[in-house]
Amino acid sequence: MFDLEQLNGIFGDMKKEFSGMEEKIKDTIFSAKAGGGLVSVSINGAGELIDISIDDSLLEDKESLQILLISAINDAYKNVEENKKSMALQMFGGMNIFGKNDA
């Protein structure tokens, strides 16, 4: 039988878990490099770009610099999204939404 009170409790627990997960992700720093480390970027879990490092050798080559920056930034954002998905799966994996299966 479907228990509405149990379902409300599960959703309440999920809300608490999600809030904690958001805080943890927000404080996590994700870094990515491009061009063998000529360009590196860091993004926090909230999606804010917090650091860029560019090798001096790229300052004369605007086109290469742009390509490497785009690549590094996109990789860092992918890392953020993959981490969010992973943490969400861990959160849902720890909850038995439908209760015990006695069959």
Mean pLDDT per block of 10 residues along the chain (103 residues) reads 68 72 82 97 93 96 97 95 84 58 47
pLDDT reported for residue 94: 59
Architecture label for domain 26-93? 2-Layer Sandwich (3.30)
Model pTM score? 0.68
pLDDT reported for residue 5: 75
Q: Which two tokens stand for residue 7?
A: 């379902």
Smallest CA-to-CA distance from 88 within 19, 8, 30 is with 19
pLDDT reported for residue 95: 56
Q: Which two tokens stand for residue 95?
A: 């909850």
Distance CA 33, CA 18 (A): 30
Smallest CA-to-CA distance from 8 within 100, 97, 102 is with 97
pLDDT reported for residue 61: 96
pLDDT reported for residue 42: 97
Cβ contact 26:46 at 8 Å? yes
Q: What are the extents of the domains in the chain?
A: 26-93
